[in-house]
C-alpha cells in the first residue's frame, strides 16, 4: 500500500497542503525546522490515530482553531480515503467520507513503520514504551489483538476504579480478574507468538546487514503468568498487594520486552549505536512481518536516517525497507543521491515544491 495523496489544513506549520506521492523511495528534504518531520507526523497520525510526539492541541497551526489531515491510500489499485479533523470540541475520523465511531474501526487501513532519531532513547527507557511499540504494531496486523487490547483496557480501568473504593469489593474484583485473565492470556499469547517470528527475521536480517555482532533475542517477560488459569490464580494471590497499592499490578499491562545480544540485555549494556541498530532491525522485521505474514506491505517513514548511519548502512537499510514496503519516506537536510529516489520533495517553511 502507499499514500497516493496527502492533504493538510492548519496542521503544524502547514496552512494548506495538497501533495501527490509516487510509490517507491521518496526524499523529503529541507533545512532544519521547515516541516519535514511534521509531514511524517501527519502521515503516521493516520497509522496510529494520534501524533507520535505531541498532544492534539499542539498540532493546530498557531492562530488557527482546528486541523485536518486527509489521505488517499492505494492498495492493489483500490483507493481508500482516510481523514481526521480535530478542534478543541473534539476529534473524529473519516473513511471514504463516512464519519467513524472511533479510530479503531479504521486502524490497519494504512499500515506503517516509523523510525525517528529520538526513538532508541524512548524505546530503551520505560517498559511502557516498549509495550506501546509492540501493541501499535500488533494492533495494525491483527483485529483480534486490537479487540482483546480494547476489552482488557476497559476491564482494567474498572478494576483500578474498584481498587480505590473503601467498601468491600472482593466479589466484584474476582469477576473482573476472571475477564482480565481471559483477555490477558490472549494478548500475551499473540505477543509471544509474534516475537518468535520477529526474532527469526531480526537474526536473518542482521546476518545480512551485520548491524550487531552476535545473536539477537527479543524476549517477552511476563509480570508473573502467561495462561488464563495461571493469571487468574496469580491475581487471586496478589489481591491484598493490589488493594494496598490501589492499582492492578499484574498482567500484560505490566509485562516487558527485552533485547539481548549474546545474552546481554541491550537496555543495560548496549551502546547508543547498538540500541539504534537493534531498534532498526526490530522495525525492519515489522515491515517484513507485515509484508509476509499479513500480506500487506506497509509505508515506511524514516526520519533523519542520514544523520544516523554511514552511506553503506543507509543504502543497505533503504534497500531492505524498499523490498518489504511499497513506499519509503526519508527525510534529510541535504539533497544527496537524488537519482536514487522516485520522488524528491523540497520543503521550506511549510510549503513544498
Ligand atoms: N502548532 C504549530 N503551528 C505552527 N508551526 C508549528 C507548530 N508546531 C511546530 N511548528 C513549527 O514547525 C517547525 C518544525 O518542523 P519540523 O519538526 O517538521 O522540522 P524539520 O524540518 O523536521 O526540522 P529538523 O531537520 O530540524 O528536524 C518549527 O519551525 C516550528 O515552529
Higher-confidence residue of 274 and 223: namely 274
In the prediction, which pLDDT does 308 show?
67
Query: For atom 2 of ligand 1, which residue has the closest CA?
Result: 12
pLDDT in tens, 274-313: 898 899 999 999 999 999 888 899 999 999 887 767 788 8
- Which residue in the block uniquely carries the three cell numbers 482483546? 148
In the prediction, which pLDDT does 294 show?
82
Q: Which residue among 277, 294, 311 closes a domain?
A: 294
The average pLDDT across 8-20 equals: 98
Is residue 34 marked as binding?
Answer: yes
Query: For atom 28 of ligand 1, which residue has the closest CA?
Result: 33
The domain that contains 312 carries what CATH number?
3.40.50.300
Q: Look up the domain containing 353 and give its range.
A: 1-111+296-353
Query: For atom 26 of ligand 1, which residue has the closest CA?
Result: 32
- The reply to whether 272 and 310 lie within a common domain is no
- The reply to whether 287 and 319 lie within a common domain is no
- The reply to whether 207 and 347 lie within a common domain is no
Q: Which of 38, 57, 87 to mutate to test the pocket of ligand 1 (most atoms within 8 A of CB)?
A: 38
- The reply to whether 306 and 277 lie within a common domain is no
Structural domain contains residue 50: yes
The number of folded domains in the chain is 2
- The reply to whether 284 and 184 lie within a common domain is yes
Does ligand 1 lie within 6 Å of residue 51's CB atom?
A: no
Structural domain contains residue 232: yes
- The reply to whether 136 and 214 lie within a common domain is yes
ipTM value: 0.98
In the prediction, which pLDDT does 145 show?
95
Residue 1 Cα to ligand 1 middle (Å): 27
- The reply to whether 227 and 328 lie within a common domain is no
Query: For atom 17 of ligand 1, which residue has the closest CA?
Result: 37
- The reply to whether 349 and 259 lie within a common domain is no
Q: Which residue among 279, 294, 309 closes a domain?
A: 294
- The reply to whether 246 and 142 lie within a common domain is yes
Q: Which residue among 251, 276, 294 closes a domain?
A: 294
- CB-based contacts of 268, cutoff 8 Å, min separation 6: none
In the prediction, which pLDDT does 93 show?
98
- The reply to whether 280 and 333 lie within a common domain is no
Structural domain contains residue 116: no
Closest ligand 1 atom, CA of 347?
21
What is residue 76's DSSP assignment?
A: T
- The answer, yes or no, to whether residue 4 has pLDDT greater than 80, is yes
C-alpha–C-alpha distance, residues 287 and 307, integer Å? 22
Is residue 49 marked as binding?
Answer: no
- The answer, yes or no, to whether residue 15 has pLDDT greater than 90, is yes
The average pLDDT across 48-65 equals: 96
Structural domain contains residue 42: yes
The domain that contains 207 carries what CATH number?
1.20.1050.90
- State the chain's mean pLDDT as an integer: 93
Amino acid at each position: 500500500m502507499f499514500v497516493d495523496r496527502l492533504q493538510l489544513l492548519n496542521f503544524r506549520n502547514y496552512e494548506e497542503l495538497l501533495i501527490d506521492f509516487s510509490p517507491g523511495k521518496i526524499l523529503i528534504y529541507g533545512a532544519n525546522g521547515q516541516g519535514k518531520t511534521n509531514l511524517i507526523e501527519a502521515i503516521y497520525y493516520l497509522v496510529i490515530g494520534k501524533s507520535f510526539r505531541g498532544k492534539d492541541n499542539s498540532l493546530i497551526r498557531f492562530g488557527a482553531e482546528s486541523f485536518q489531515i486527509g489521505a488517499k491510500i492505494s492498495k492493489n489499485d483500490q483507493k481508500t480515503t482516510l481523514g481526521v479533523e480535530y478542534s478543541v470540541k473534539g476529534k473524529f475520523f473519516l473513511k471514504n467520507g463516512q464519519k467513524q465511531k472511533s479510530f479503531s474501526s479504521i486502524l490497519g487501513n494504512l499500515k506503517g513503520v516509523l523510525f525517528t532519531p529520538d526513538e532508541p532513547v524512548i524505546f530503551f527507557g520505560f517498559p511502557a514504551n516498549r509495550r506501546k511499540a509492540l501493541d501499535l504494531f500488533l494492533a495494525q496486523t491483527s483485529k483480534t489483538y486490537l479487540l482483546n487490547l480494547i476489552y482488557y483496557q476497559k476491564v482494567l480501568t474498572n478494576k483500578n476504579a474498584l481498587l480505590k473504593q473503601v467498601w468491600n469489593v472482593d466479589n466484584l474484583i474476582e469477576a473482573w480478574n476472571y475477564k482480565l485473565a481471559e483477555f490477558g492470556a490472549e494478548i500475551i499469547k499473540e505477543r509471544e507468538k509474534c516475537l518468535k517470528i520477529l526474532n527469526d527475521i531480526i537474526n536473518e536480517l542482521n546476518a545480512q546487514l551485520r548491524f550487531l555482532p552476535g545473536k539477537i533475542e527479543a524476549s517477552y517477560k511476563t509480570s508473573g503468568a502467561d495462561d488464563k488459569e495461571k493469571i487468574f490464580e496469580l491475581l487471586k494471590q496478589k489481591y491484598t498487594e493490589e488493594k494496598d497499592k490501589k492499582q492492578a499490578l499484574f498482567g500484560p499491562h505490566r509485562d516487558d520486552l527485552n533485547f539481548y545480544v549474546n545474552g546481554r540485555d541491550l537496555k543495560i549494556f548496549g551502546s547508543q549505536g547498538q540500541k539504534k541498530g537493534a531498534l532498526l532491525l526490530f522495525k525492519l522485521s515489522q515491515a517484513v512481518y507485515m509484508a509476509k505474514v499479513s500480506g500487506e506491505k506497509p509505508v515506511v517513514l524514516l526520519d533523519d536516517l542520514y544523520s544516523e548511519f554511514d552511506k553503506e548502512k543507509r543504502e543497505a537499510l533503504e534497500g531492505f525497507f524498499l523490498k518489504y514496503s511499497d513506499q519509503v519516506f526519508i527525510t534529510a537536510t541535504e539533497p544527496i543521491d537524488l537519482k536514487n529516489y522516485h520522488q524528491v520533495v523540497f520543503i521550506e517553511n511549510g510549503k513544498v515544491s
